């Protein structure tokens, strides 16, 4: 299954390297700039879809996708109360 590398550019200037176990993420989170709540909704849906794709092929969900989502959510928590936080997604 092809893995997908992508980057999240946070409003504070951090650049986070991320991976999805499946290209299914692209349907939910295309490269663009998002408001933080929209980004989180899309990242959750995309990484869950990627994990589901792994489950369909290999019989169990992907721990890597769950860990990636936890890392994204942890980073986002620091920005929850910042007004107008925007996040950019890029693919490598």
User: What is the per-residue pLDDT across 40-89, written as a single tens digit (0 to 9) for each?
Assistant: 999 999 999 999 999 999 999 999 999 999 999 999 998 877 777 899 99
Has residue 21 got a pLDDT over 70? yes
Distance CA 18, CA 8 (A): 7
Tell me the C-alpha distance between 6 and 25, whole Å: 10
Number of domains in the chain: 1
| pTM score over 0.85 | yes
Q: Give the DSSP H/E element, type plus range, for residue 5.
A: strand 4-9
- Going from the C-alpha of 52 to that of each of 15, 25, 37, 65, 89, the distances in angstroms are 27, 11, 22, 10, 22
Instruction: Look at residue 1 and tell me whether its pLDDT is greater than 70.
Output: no
Q: Which domain holds residue 24?
A: 4-91
């Amino acid at each position: 299954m092809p893995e997908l590398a992508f980057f999240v550019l946070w409003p504070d200037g951090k650049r986070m390297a991320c991976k999805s176990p499946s290209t299914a993420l692209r349907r939910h989170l295309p490269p663009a700039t998002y408001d933080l709540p929209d980004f989180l909704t899309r990242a959750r849906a995309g990484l869950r879809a990627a994990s589901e794709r792994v489950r369909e092929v290999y019989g169990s969900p992907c721990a890597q996708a769950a860990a990636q989502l936890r890392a994204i959510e942890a980073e986002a928590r620091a920005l929850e109360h910042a007004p107008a936080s925007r996040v950019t997604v890029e693919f490598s």
